[in-house]
Structure 1
Amino acid sequence: MAPGDPADPLQHNVTVTPVFGPFAGRRVDFTLQFPPDYPFRGPRIRCRQAIFHPNIDVGGGVCLNILRLEWSPVHTLEHLLVGLLNIMTEPYPEDPLNKSAADIMLQDPRRYVEIVNLTIAGGTFDGVAFSALDRA
């Protein structure tokens, strides 16, 4: 974890690199913005790259259940990082933020993996240019 904005001590950047799943071996960068009343309220998390993912919209918004449904002051940074790694390893299309990605993943899993491979290489899909993801 590294400071995200030197002027904002509540903002930090993290990188996760899944070992399994469609994003395996790729570095995915996130910004965590902690609220002043943390840990009583969870941080806002944004993906810093445009990726094709059921739980992450192309604007970087992240749908992570621990933040939306289950936040508690007992949750730690480790819980957040494990949650991010989990959705990168096993996307959860049943509760999507990117409905298009979720629908494709549910209806045609092979096609979903093809699109992920295209987009992590910096390709374009459905009129959206995606960020090439570095290998770890």
Structure 2
Amino acid sequence: MINLIKAKERQKEAAANADKPPVKEQTATHLRLQRDISELNLPPTCTIEFPNGKDDLMYFDLTIIPDEGYYMGGIFPFSFQIPPLYPHDAPKVKCKIKVYHPNIDVEGNVCLNILREDWKPVLNINTVIYGIYHLFLEPNPDDPLNHDAAAQLRDNPQMFEHDVRGTMYGESKDGVYFDRCFDI
């Protein structure tokens, strides 16, 4: 009889809660990501956007518009995909346009040590954003994905600057057409 009463109580409780939306359980990844996003301190030339709304923090876009260096004035959009095991696994970051850069290949892969072997759970989204931002201020020819761009930066910085400017306007380089990154 007691089990029947408890079952009826559970049915009444379930019926009362039926029109309420289910409470979404927060995982450790979501809690950490919420903290990382709330503590962001973006450089003034960076913006972040959540295309799926603020409820989906696992995917967002970053736009960098450098105000100095070889890439000054260009608009460089990136996508961030946060893995389910974040912060134990690094975010997956891709440049959404083709850019002539020693540390970014034409598929948009980014060569940044903290996104690979140097990732540690104590690092956060802010650290990654500043790392990518820094690549536009000071490209690193010693750890390249685009070996031709890295060699050109090392051996002939003036020609590298010329080619960066041309490709930012949508010109091709070595048979590869690059995306115009002004007013995209």
Q: TM-score, normalised by structure 2?
A: 0.69
Tell me the secondary structure at the aligned position of residue 114 of structure 2: helix
Contact map agreement 1:4 1:31 (CA 8 A) in 2: no
Amino acid at match of 1:73: P
Q: Does 1:108 align with 2:159?
A: no
The number of equivalent residue pairs is: 135
Supply the distance in 1 between the matched residues of 2:52 and 2:100 (Cα, whole angstroms).
26
Supply the distance in 1 between the matched residues of 2:52 and 2:97 (Cα, whole angstroms).
17
Amino acid at match of 2:49: A
Give 2:101's aligned residue: 53
Segments of structure 2 that go 5 or more residues without pairing to the other structure are 1-47
1:121 Cα deviation from its structure 2 partner: 0.3
Q: Does 1:87 align with 2:153?
A: no
Segments of structure 1 that go 5 or more residues without pairing to the other structure are none
Amino acid at match of 1:106: R
Contact map agreement 1:25 1:135 (CA 8 A) in 2: no
Q: Which has the higher contact order (CA 8 A, sep 6+)?
A: 1
**Alignment partner of 1:14 out of 62, 71, 87:** 62
Amino acid at match of 1:94: D
Point out the structure with max Rg over C-alpha. Answer: 2
Tell me the secondary structure at the aligned position of residue 29 of structure 1: strand
Tell me the secondary structure at the aligned position of residue 115 of structure 1: helix
Q: Which has the higher strand share?
A: 1
**Alignment partner of 1:30 out of 55, 62, 78:** 78
Give 2:147's aligned residue: 99
Query: What RMSD, in angstroms, separates the aligned Cα atoms of the two structures?
Result: 1.7
Tell me the secondary structure at the aligned position of residue 81 of structure 1: helix
Tell me the secondary structure at the aligned position of residue 50 of structure 2: strand
Identity over the aligned pairs, expressed in percent? 36
Q: Which has the higher helix share?
A: 2
Tell me the secondary structure at the aligned position of residue 80 of structure 1: helix
Give 1:131's aligned residue: 179
Instruction: Call closer, same or farther: CA 1:16–1:105 in 2, change over 3 Å.
Output: same
Q: Does 1:62 align with 2:110?
A: yes
